[in-house]
Homo-oligomer: A and B are copies of this chain.
Amino acid sequence: MPEAVRAVVMTGPGRPLELRRFPAPRPEPGGAVLEMVASEVCGTDVHLHHGRLPGVPYPIIPGHVNCGRILETGGPLQDVEGRPLAPGRLVTFFDVFGTCGRCWYCLVAKAATRCPKRRVYGITTSADEGLLGGWAERIELKPGVRVLPIPEGLEAEDFMGGGCGLPTGFHAVERAGVALADTVVVQGSGPVGLNAAVFASLAGAGRVLVIGAPAARLQAARRLGADDVLDITDVPDPADRVRWARERTAGRGADVAIEASGTPAAVPEGLEMVRDAGTYVVVGQYTDAGDAAINPHAHLNRRHVTLRGCWGFEFTHLHRALLLMARHVRRFPWRELVTRQYALEDAGRALADMERLAVVKALVRPSV
């Protein structure tokens, strides 16, 4: 075993990334160490680099969605079904840990994504605590971190093509309560929007429309089953986009719309794309980009609409998303979303490419 492993460290907002050496980690009892195969470059990482998230304990090692091989375990390790996980196995893990199971949100509201104790790999874990982010040669899994084997028939590239958007899009579709034959509009063609489109199809939607940009992402939407797409750079006026959506939804608007754009103005626009008594899920507003003007009478009350905010995801979403990926990977080519892979030393370039939407999905790999 080497005496040191390399990892990318984000030392603070706006500062250049650094490649540092850490002592080779050993697993705690109940934990594990993975040899990293690939880690995602997520829109969140761009936000982290701009300092847009509160309470981040810089320096951090980014990379919250990851794929690796088990190198060593601190005792027997099992998946959620109770099946043993041995060294050599290709796995991912649920990046959220520490959810207490004891607080009011966990026990009474049953809203685990709002547990104040929950922590997230690569976001709320400091590099001072160890290798707790995926842009590294190895990663330490704390005791209690839930490990999921990559199902037979899937490779790291398939899973990573889904990335963070896979369980997030799954969660948004579940929260939307898509019913059989519903028409679904997705605003935004980034990883979350594309995965929301996939899971809307899988949940039995009768028609899926994706609105976004740039063209490459909309082509990906088509390959992932969207019936029709609209490029917002071609149609810059929101009223025209609403008209486009309504023309494709019997003039009524969609049964379900899912906001995955991150732009506040998308919210009133999306509300106009939903039919009366329909459902609108807001999942894309991960950081505070300002206010939006909505009309409580016209958008909410008279429309009898249901609007749901959707924050993060739970283990069940990742677990079930992975089951469905294994079943449908030929129908929905997630791996094509991986536009480019970067070595650890090129992580800064990955962030820059991500920010200017030059890639759909970027990965950081120790061995490209």
Contacts and interface: CB of A to CB of B under 8 A. Distances in A.
Contacts of A170: 180
Contact of A277 (B111, B199, B202): B111
A101 B101 contact: yes
Contact of A283 (B250, B301, B303, B324): B301
Contact of A104 (B202, B250, B297): B250
Contact of A304 (B179, B309, B327): B309
B174 A202 contact: no
Nearest to A100: B101
Interface residues of A, number: 80
A235 interface: no
Given A104-B250, A109-B275, A202-B204, A290 B284 contact: no
A309 to B, nearest CB: 4
A80 B104 contact: yes
Contacts of A323: 181, 206
A1 interface: no
A334 to B, nearest CB: 16
Interface stretch (A239-247, A311-319, A337-345, A357-365): A311-319
A306 B304 contact: no
Contacts of A295: 264, 288, 290-292
Q: Could you say how many copies of this chain the assembly holds?
A: 4
Given A102-B146, A104-B81, A294-B294, A304 B300 contact: no
The 7 A-B residue pairs with the shortest CB-CB distance in the complex, in nearest-first order: A111-B277, A181-B320, A300-B309, A285-B301, A285-B296, A304-B311, A307-B307
Interface of A: 80-82, 99, 101-105, 107-111, 113-114, 144, 146, 170, 173-174, 179-181, 199, 202-204, 206-207, 250, 252, 255, 259, 264, 266-267, 275-278, 282-311, 314-316, 319-321, 323-324, 327
26 contacts: A80-B107, A80-B108, A101-B101, A105-B277, A107-B146, A107-B315, A109-B277, A111-B277, A174-B180, A181-B323, A203-B203, A203-B204, A264-B297, A266-B296, A267-B296, A285-B297, A289-B297, A291-B293, A292-B294, A293-B293, A300-B307, A302-B309, A304-B310, A306-B308, A306-B309, A307-B308
